[in-house]
Structure 1
Amino acid sequence: METPTVNELGTVQATQLQWLVDRAEITDLVLDFARCVDDRDMIKYAENFTEDGELVLHAIHLKGRDQILSIPGFPPEWAAHHLIGNILIDIDGDVAHTRTYVVATHVFDPATPSDTAQAGGWYLQDLRRTPDGWRFTRAEVRTVWETEKPLFPQPELS
């Protein structure tokens, strides 16, 4: 086995460093995906996508930043709290894919913070490196379980 040259070692180290930087930037983007919902920062939420990015939320399929910005917000009294972890990242050059575990809690009335609903599942996201950094080309929220009370209760009909 030949000993790598100094130049080859530098190339390997630069490649490893780029991989670590990419993982850190992608992790921050995935975390911001949840933070934006919790903070109701929908402008930043949409900016985390490419111009033609897609968002799949259950039966809702939105394409492009303008459609993503059109998502109806939660009622003002609601609060959301998303816990995410186990971010699996697969990077292949200028594209990447993630699978992230998520548990979402919605509080419907701040006067009764025990009035909540929860659901768990995954964020499945495709990303592309852009001049502005990593951005989502597609993000899907896939629910695996939820509490008896739904995250999005339907209004009562009178």
Structure 2
Amino acid sequence: MDNQRISDELEIARLLTTYARAVDTKDWELYRSVFTDDAHIDYSSAGAIVGSRDEVVDWFAVNFGVIPWSMHYITNIEIGQTDGDSATVRAMFYNPMQLPGMTEMSACGGYYHHELVRTPDGWRSRSLREENVWFTNAP
């Protein structure tokens, strides 16, 4: 493995960590920074929004803001096909959370599927599709 591939993998892993921190801290400007301006985001498998980056941020600000806490863990990051300036990524997620009005913790898990591009500011996601596989203690 060459130095560029190692550097890319580290930067991509950091981008996914930034994504998790942005969602869990409800820092929607930081969330925007993970994506390209024209990104398409699909959370339909979790019963949530599909749309542009800005549409998703607006939806999150209203709907995710009522969740008292969440803790996204992103693991098993598989970086697939790369051609130098684009890459596909499949990563597992585990997300325990406290849902409003519920006393027991809820959790969900699945996969994030990203299409990434290298920009002057580093790697960014131009497409994210969440594949929610399971949910415990749903509302």
**TM-score, reference length from structure 2:** 0.86
Provide the residue aligned with 1:6 in structure 2: none
Q: Secondary structure at the match of 2:26?
A: coil
Within 5 Å, which residues of 2 pair with 1:102-121?
A: 102-108=93-99, 115-121=104-110
Give RMSD over aligned pairs: 2.1
* 1:48 paired to 2:41: no
Contact 2:113 2:130 in 1 (8 A): yes
**TM-score, reference length from structure 1:** 0.76
Provide the residue aligned with 1:66 in structure 2: 54
Q: Secondary structure at the match of 2:71?
A: strand
Q: Secondary structure at the match of 1:93?
A: coil
Contact 1:46 1:68 in 2 (8 A): no
Instruction: List runs of 5+ in structure 2 lacking aligned partners.
Output: none
- The one-character-per-residue Cα deviations of 1:27-48 (angstroms, maximum 9, x if unpaired) are 1001111111111111110121
Provide the residue aligned with 2:117 in structure 1: 128
Structure 2 CA distance, aligned partners of 1:84 and 1:48?
15
Q: CA shift at 1:73, angstroms? A: 4.1
Q: CA shift at 1:54, angstroms? A: 1.0
Structure 1 CA distance, aligned partners of 2:63 and 2:24?
11
State the identity as a percent. 34
- Which has the bigger relative contact order, CA under 8 A and spacing at least 6? 2
Cα distance, 1:100–1:77 mapped onto 2, change above 3 Å: closer
Provide the residue aligned with 1:85 in structure 2: 75
AA aligned opposite 2:85: D
What is the number of residues matched between the two proteins?
Answer: 133
More helix by share: 2
Cα distance, 1:46–1:75 mapped onto 2, change above 3 Å: closer
Structure 1 CA distance, aligned partners of 2:51 and 2:67?
25
**Rg (Cα) greater in structure:** 1
